[in-house]
Structure 1
């Protein structure tokens, strides 16, 4: 995860000033998100104080009339200017058109909401009293991908400067930014390993260095690859870079006995590159990367020479209320949740997502399909050119992430012409001319390495099981939703809405109850099982991980296996059960043997009790009386699954405890129990940190869950009390509907912190329930 490099710079100065090298490097990356003001009316005298990341408008929970228009950001700042120094401003994401003025001078007009842009501000800033103004527009624009009007789009894009902004200071001899440089297969730092074995990994590192000083420089690079167990150092050739010239310096790499990156052991290396001139360190930059071997072969996909059927999901990057304006930590928590749900892959539907999320995928071991912006739309020549530029930019930004195995240079479900598909692939292969770099497209076109249809793009009952193309593999990019929602009614997602059957669809809110949540889980099970029958299918990604809002609909799209607040549904535990019990993940990630009773066990509950488990056997007890000990249920809906569910029939309802024991090799290895809920009497407050503590220094956002429980502390799943939230303490705010009715026993609100330096006290209450208080320190 990212952090400012001020402390690292000070440490580096102390370290090297005591040795043989003299440190003239002044590279600093400073979070530039504080002390901004914001307005939607540039003529207004009132500008609201805000912190970036920021959304242009806090939206309701169900977004059916999202705000669009111009908005304005302004910041006054000072900056210490030193001789032989460069100053840059880096915007990670602005949705989706931006004009930036520095001290009254328009310095950039950028189009595209999902990728970064950088401004060389050296000549525009002064030491005191600088003003930066950013005009942002998120209105429909058919020339900016995804291009489709919001009211007809299957997801929302939200306005504002919604990702981080950084001020970066470097020497006048410096390592460039790859996206800013806009150089084919160049700019910044590029690491590639093309020969990988247990004995050694061979490859190269290419570093683009620019000299904007007034004299030539003799330059060489010191390069270090390190992890907790090993360090490898390399020195480049020395080159002469003329004044106002640049050079790409290539250095061969060979790392003995590399620790490979994988889905169970996502080993990463810290890469430090120092730019040296004589004995002075002129610049220093670090990144994380991993060494891994990915291959599409005739019989499937291989990771580090082991065959793998890829089990994954799709993710939209929105949160309720704040849209896209997530903190880095919130993005990281989503990756943790995806991994904990049993997935080892995520498709970034349908646009490039933030670097923080990709960093998290690298760290937790999630394979990634990186995607450009597109959904059921192709625009004019300007749209096409912007789409091509997006391919260039995301390949340059993301090329060092070991998690990325497929590049979806395809306009999803859009009528791409042959010339577009050919050019899109040519651009990526020119930017990344290496083996293996795999491209993916939703149209079965020979330019793509991988065919990625959605399940509903073919017909029941076989779907893609009979697909035959010996030169191409297939990856089911979406499944489990549309074929159940609209009975396979093609692409038209509005006209055929009347085909929906409430108890058949996978679109189920948590409040819809056990029966419908079980139906959703069964739909995913059936489709998963079917997908495994395709002999050319290398993997799948269900639709989808989290519920989300859409531009064209007046309800929440609820086919997520967790709701929009990231609370799991029954289907979450079905997927969790499909991971082998032998897998042992580190860093508090969920793995190993599991068992889960998908039942609330009240008077309304089914007496056919479904249990999800990856164990060999499950024993189910009612009030400590054995109901049965069974093997998993294998039938036409489950015979191909790694771990089919268990179904137990209980003769009659008896209030009390259901307890399931997971058994492997005849021994109990895990258990789960549910207890019949009594009347609701109290509230319990929980903060969802998902392995990532609240950032004490910068803005962060977390979910606060108010669980309605009985006297035993058991969740009451049909409780729908309106819960009021309150907060005591500075530097934080509650965002969302307040009070809000509990859904399936849980009411949720967002807590946004600015700097968690002092304790915060949260309170949740209802007149008929015992209130709950939680103190955050």
Structure 2
């Protein structure tokens, strides 16, 4: 079966959906968490009350699975993203045997005002599309009968809901739909609450913290929030077990507590762990924490969490310290969107984004400018990426109701994200917004109330109430920017490398850049703009990062990792070090070279690297920039060595970890460049760049980035077709039109055919319901077809 979506610029009526990978769902609901992603129906742009929408037999409902985007958007949205009302419904049956149980729905993300109805009854209205919400349905379910669940969504501009700013003036897009997973929870009336089921400050669910941490001993503190929905009093207890690869390394059992009828009780326990394996970006070791609730000697509920034991500290004097060791934070910013489908991406796709961030040499990511999915945070825990979590906000400070909703977002964000060892900073701040002192004081206070203790740090872009000051580099003035900041407060530069070159005329290098146009010297460069401008972008990031390191900042985060769409602009914001299709630009290799050899225990992130930032196709472009984390680099031109060099020693290389290597070719002779990286006199890495010839065919591959393409959960990957010569060298300036097709249980999403950019054409490939082999093919006039067989897990 072959499926393909229409050309770019057309908003498609066909609806794309993705789901949680590695978890199977069905209609046999059992005790615990059941994935509720399949069997939905969808309709949009219907201006009727919900009851009439559900009963209207003339409406054409489409069968969909979740997560789901209400609209497939063009590659470049140009200020015309879909906004409006849409409705999801699901018919389901709950067996009579579950009568008397607690039933709840968890929606991980639905954009952005949601009304939840069950059997015609409005159960909950949720404001905000970036945080999950929990709805108890126990009293509205018909046990043994048919049930109809309806979720009505509106993603139109709303000044009461953060980010609040209208889409046509917003620096990102808020997209649409139930774009993350939905879960049906079935529990005993006596159970561990969900973190959002109850409004308990610094409680709800399971709250894990650590004290007296060292590599010799650590205390793991576990707070368990238990709800008794029975009318009678119950005696309850908690057993907590810490496991290392299924081996019990610590356990404890609490004393019995009385949970009075229709109330909650919080039980605190503590584990003593000997010789713990501490979590860090270089060694992201995770344990499994198993929590059981006993009622009358019977286990009535349990929960497993992945946890990492670590201790952190941030001071102006010592910077960021983890497990007693200082660490400079080397970071980036991430928007969670994909082309075409917006936010509606699979858990595996979120993991792959985290993988690429780690692979690019970063140990830190700022979530810009909103909370992101649990699957992405789980990946940061697993891969070793430190995180700045953030409430939704950008250049908008609304009325009292808006501010109260933003404070609620702080509470929700902390409650659902607090157990992630990767999170070290909490941006309880509305980014670049004119917040009042009263709001900042309250935001700071509320976050510390929700997460009591010493190892929690708030941060904000205004230097007032927060623990850590996080300005963008451009908020300071050249030439020093923030390097002369003297206050006794940790400083982290949350954005750099873009705006100071885009709007402040090229940072320091006025003379060096005086012959460049504004377009040539800024950091907003698409891959198709050519090697000179990609080289300039990489130099901008090198210069500004090197400058940041000359001050006392605990770290910095470049703007940004991936290109993205903006509501207010008719083009793609292209300051990413990878494009919107996750293809690298030259700047990607600069950052990758900043990670030291052996920096991570994960082999994929610890190897020597070397990359040539020159296509070797332009006689006027004789500088060859080589990015590497090796000690020395030797460059060979057509089989002849032109020398071995140490890293550059110039004004832009004084403080960075691994400066690039710049070689000046005496002349251009088409052929082959070979760069060899040396450590302790031995070659440990090699890169080859050949002068491209005439295009002869297409080379195909997909990006799996640590996760194989998976069936049964609407997984999605980028599929690429490169125009290559007879030697397999990509033609970096090729713009050929490429058509994709797929056979087997899979489908394509996106513009198709599509013109190649910098020699590569891209489409989204979505796996179907069944494992097995699929075949991706691509064709272009005058070129040999490309074929790729893919095994779907």
Q: How does 1:50-449 map to 2 (within 5 A)?
A: 50-64=64-78, 65-81=80-96, 82-126=98-142, 127-228=144-245, 231-297=249-315, 298-445=317-464, 447-449=465-467
Cα distance in 2, alignment partners of residues 500 and 62 from structure 1: 24
Residue 604 of structure 1 deviates from its aligned partner by 4.9
Counterpart CA distance in 1 for 2:434 and 2:417 is 27
The CA deviation string for residues 30-70 of structure 1, in whole angstroms up to 9 with x for no partner, is 11111111111246520111111111100000112111010
What are structure 2's unaligned runs of at least 5 residues? 1-19, 47-52, 508-515
Aligned match of 1:466 = 484
**Aligned match of 1:660:** 675
Offset at residue 719 of structure 1 (A): 1.2
1:37 to 2:41 alignment: yes
| 1:695 counterpart (696, 704, 710) | 710
Larger RCO (alpha carbons 8 Å, 6+ apart): 2
**Partners of 1:295 and 1:303 within 8 A in 2:** yes
Question: Which residue of the other structure, out of 581, 591, 603, is the alignment partner of 2:618?
Answer: 603
- Say if 2:468 is the partner of 1:453: no
Distance in 1 of aligned mates of 2:648 and 2:479: 21
> Aligned pairs, how many?
748
CA deviation map 1:518-574 (0-9, x unaligned): 00000000001100111x211000000000000000000000000000001000000
Distance 1:336 1:612, change over 3 A: same
Distance 1:744 1:605 in 2: 19
| 1:484-519 C-alpha deviation (Å, 9 max, x unpaired) | 0011699xxxxxxxx970110000000000000000
Aligned to 1:537, the other structure's residue is in SS state coil
Q: Quick one: structure 1 residues 489 and 677, their matched pair in 2 at CA, closer, same or farther if it must change by over 3 Å?
A: closer
In 2: Cα distance, 1:714 partner to 1:230 partner: 53
Q: Deviations over 1:72-123 (max 9, x none)?
A: 1111111224244211111000010001111111111110100111111112
Could you say if the C-alpha distance between residues 281 and 488 of structure 1 is closer, same or farther in structure 2, counting changes exceeding 3 Å?
farther
Cα 1:500/1:466, change in 2 over 3 Å:
farther
Tell me which residue corresponds to 2:646.
631
Separation in 2 of the partners of 1:339 and 1:759?
A: 30
* Residue 750 of structure 1 pairs with residue 764 of structure 2: yes
Which stretch of the first structure deviates more once superposed, 41-50 or 687-696?
Answer: 41-50
Corresponding position of 1:544: 560
- Structure 1 CA distance for aligned equivalents of residues 273 and 709 of structure 2: 36
Distance 1:300 1:590 in 2: 24
Aligned residue number for residue 642 of structure 1: 657
Q: CA deviation at 1:584?
A: 4.1
1:27 aligned onto 2:34? no
Query: Structure 1: which 5+ residue stretches go unaligned?
Result: 11-24, 491-498
Q: Distance between the aligned counterparts of 1:523 and 1:166, measured in 2?
A: 45
Counterparts of 1:516 and 1:462, CA distance in 2: 25
Q: Secondary structure at the match of 2:447?
A: helix
Tell me how far apart the structure 2 counterparts of residues 3 and 215 of structure 1 sit (CA, whole Å): 39
Query: Separation in 2 of the partners of 1:664 and 1:342?
Result: 19
Measured in 2, the distance between the counterparts of 1:698 and 1:26 equals 20
Partner residue in 2 for 1:762: 776
Structure 1 residue 264, shift from structure 2 partner: 1.0
Relative to structure 1, is the Cα distance of residues 741 and 387 closer, same or farther in structure 2, using a 3 angstrom cutoff? same
Shift of 1:6: 8.2
State the distance in 2 between where 1:340 and 1:48 align. Answer: 39
State the distance in 1 between where 2:248 and 2:216 align: 14
SS at match of 1:182: coil
Alpha-carbon spacing, 1:97–1:752, altered in 2? closer, same or farther (3 Å): same
**Whole-angstrom CA distance in 2 between matches of 1:230 and 1:633:** 51
How far apart, CA to CA, are the structure 1 residues paired with 2:30 and 2:209? 28
